[in-house]
Amino acid sequence: MTDKKKNKKLLDYVGAGCGVVVLLIAIISAIVAKMPAVAGVKDSQIPETAKYMEASAPGRNGDVTVRVVADEERIYQIKVLEHKETDGIGSEAIKRLPGSIFQAQSLKVDAVTGATISSDAIKTAVITALQDGGIKPSIFGGSLVKVETVAKQVETNSGVQLMLAADWSEEFPDEYASWTQNSDNSEVTDYLVDYPMLKTLYEPYGFSKDYLAARGHMFALEDVGKTARIGEKSKASCFTCKTAQFTHLVNEEGLSIYTMPFADLKGQLTEPIGCYTCHANTPGEITITQTFLIDGVGDDFEGIDAANLACGQCHNEYFFATDTGATTLPHNSLASMSPDAILAFYNDPSNFSTGEIFTDYTNPRTGVKQIKVQHPEIETFLGEGSQHRSNYTCADCHMGKAVSDSGKTYSSHYLISPLDNPELIEGECAKCHEDLMAEVRAVQEDVERRTYAIGYELQFLTERLAAAVESGEYTDAELDAIRALARDAQFYWDFVFVENAEGAHNPTLTHECLDKAEALCNEALGLFKN
């Protein structure tokens, strides 16, 4: 064998050896990256009184599962049991964040640079584990939802005279000017044209006759006075969230205001949603003036950021109480704000003075006692699966910071989509989202596609049920079984349809609702005889 051939063979061996080493290093690195990351004391140092708790939260590439060992005095261990985060990026959060939380004995630690989503997943999983284990996350500075500022609660029967927005225009000229800009949000969508199935699904409710999209805060009072949904028998409760003046009347004179004739108040109310709604008579301080929201979050009031509560006063799912006619929320805590819990509330006759399940309207052809969901933004955004509820508020995304001509920074009261705020996207959203607009549009298009498809399925179910009722071929028990499924299916569908973000606030919860609507609809269709 020549020297040249010997050298070549030697190089082949070396190359092969190097390849094996590289492969082994890659395999070992991959194994190490996926190995449980643990921080804390030795197992022998954990007291018998400590609880072992596990929970998961969505990360960049899948669920991050953690085990937390803690009691109400101390966190002893945090271990990441499973994850699919990218090696060298999200895996850095997996390696470092548990130790940061343990050392600080606090969840108020900075996210690992470049791995914000993975960091948030770890924090959320730890918080969920603690909460499920009966340990308040707040002991360690954690909360499932962001809370930096605690709102005040309105003082009722105070005798205080309402101050209108114009009364504050000189003291807060920039905020006032930005508030008036909401007049620009005047686009109108006719839902009955864009979603033809609604005339069937909402039959014979007012929304099947007139359903225009809200034009924004500045038009709320004007629009409710014009809608064909208001009739001679309409009550003043229809002014809820349309004007701060009505809210003030309820707070000063009591629940009897709700049952007054709508027409009796119509000429007395002149200003739409204004300063009082979120600040009472103290601009600069957030004060929750809708007492039904205070009741609706119960003991969790101080565990929800003031900005979320301010917006959640009107952006919520509500009903009018069957005994007092007062605006009421179908929940009394953060945990009971889920669609499942709300539906269970409506389906429990013991919750209502009538002794029957709650009904907004009954379809005259099918006999289904329907629920008309309103606009459950707070329930959706703060609900299970929300990716941003722990680190952002409604105001963070919809009330951008602005700078006046004098150089003063203030909160703009011109309410816009974050997609229309390039400064916000570039300065904040881009930290985690390479192309936020494309991501949101993709979510919304997918949700819209499914909303249309399932909406037509529900319309088909309604027509099949109407025909079955008319045929006389079904027993009452058989029809009631289909009716119950149809009622629940439409509730889950409507929970998505009327939520104004079209899935962007919480894609996970949105698709879960659509999944349930579709499954219930198909189950109902399966009960027909032919």
Whether the CB-CB separation of 219 and 123 falls below 8 Å is answered with no
Gyration radius (Cα) of the chain, Å: 28
Residues in CB range of 354: below 8 A, 6 or more apart: 322
- SS3 of 450-504: HHHHHHHHHHHHHHHHHHHHHHCCCCHHHHHHHHHHHHHHHHHHHHHHCCCCCCC
Give DSSP secondary structure letters for 342-393. Answer: HHHHHT-GGGSTTSS---SEE-TTT--EE------HHHHHTSTT-SSTTT--
Helices assigned H by DSSP within 105-138: 116-132
Tokens of 508: 């996970």
Tokens of 487: 């009622």
- What's phi and psi for 163, nearest 5 deg? -105, 130
Nearest CA among 449, 474, 491, 453 for reference residue 528: 474
In angstroms, the CA 201 to CA 40 distance is 56
SS3 235: strand
Which of the 8 DSSP states describes residue 300? G
Regarding the domain with residue range 436-525, which homologous superfamily does it belong to in the CATH classification? Butyryl-CoA Dehydrogenase, subunit A, domain 3 (1.20.140.10)
Nearest CA among 257, 339, 280 for reference residue 513: 339
- Crossing angle of the two packed helices 476-497 and 436-471, in degrees rounded to 10: 160
CB atoms within 10 A of CB 472: 6
pLDDT on residue 32: 42
Whether the CB-CB separation of 133 and 69 falls below 8 Å is answered with no
For the four alpha carbons of 327, 269, 417 and 308, in that order, the dihedral sign comes to negative
Nearest CA among 126, 150, 133, 108 for reference residue 300: 150
In angstroms, the CA 477 to CA 468 distance is 13
Instruction: Count the helix, strand and coil residues of the chain and give each as a percent rounded to the nearest 5.
Output: 50, 10, 40
In angstroms, the CA 212 to CA 321 distance is 25
In angstroms, the CA 508 to CA 191 distance is 25
Residues in CB range of 141: below 8 A, 6 or more apart: 106, 107, 108
Whether the CB-CB separation of 283 and 171 falls below 8 Å is answered with yes
Pick left, alpha or beta for residue 145 (phi over 0 → left; psi -120 to 50 → alpha; otherwise beta).
beta
Give DSSP secondary structure letters for 171-207. Answer: TSHHHHHHHHGGGG-----BHHHH-TTHHHHTTTSGG
pLDDT on residue 28: 42
Q: Provide the total of helices (H) and of strands (E) in the chain, helices listed first.
A: 19, 12
Q: What residue type is assigned to position 57 of the chain?
A: A
In angstroms, the CA 54 to CA 51 distance is 10
Helices assigned H by DSSP within 282-359: 291-297, 306-312, 339-346
In angstroms, the CA 155 to CA 201 distance is 41
Nearest CA among 242, 288, 290 for reference residue 265: 242
In angstroms, the CA 365 to CA 463 distance is 9
Nearest CA among 381, 366, 404 for reference residue 528: 366
Each residue's pLDDT, cut to its tens digit, for the chain (530 residues) gives 555 555 555 555 545 555 555 555 444 444 444 445 788 999 999 999 999 999 998 888 889 999 999 999 999 999 999 999 999 888 999 999 999 999 999 998 888 988 888 898 899 899 999 989 999 888 998 878 888 899 999 999 999 899 999 999 999 999 999 999 999 887 888 999 999 999 999 999 999 999 998 888 999 999 999 999 999 999 999 999 999 999 999 999 999 999 999 999 998 999 999 999 999 999 889 999 999 999 999 999 999 999 999 999 999 999 999 999 999 999 999 989 999 999 999 999 999 999 999 999 999 999 999 999 999 999 999 998 898 998 899 999 999 889 998 899 999 999 999 999 999 999 999 988 889 999 999 999 999 999 999 999 999 999 999 999 999 999 999 999 999 999 999 999 999 999 999 999 999 999 999 999 999 999 999 999 97
Give bridge partners of residue 51 from the DSSP assignment. 70
The CATH T-level fold of domain 37-140 is: Sufe protein. Chain: A (3.90.1010)
Tell which CATH classification among 3.40.50.2300, 1.10.1130.10, 1.20.1300.10, 1.10.3720.10 matches the domain 152-395: 1.10.1130.10
pLDDT on residue 25: 47
Give bridge partners of residue 370 from the DSSP assignment. 361
Domain residue spans in the chain? 1-34, 37-140, 152-395, 436-525
In angstroms, the CA 30 to CA 117 distance is 20
Pick left, alpha or beta for residue 2 (phi over 0 → left; psi -120 to 50 → alpha; otherwise beta).
beta
In angstroms, the CA 82 to CA 36 distance is 7
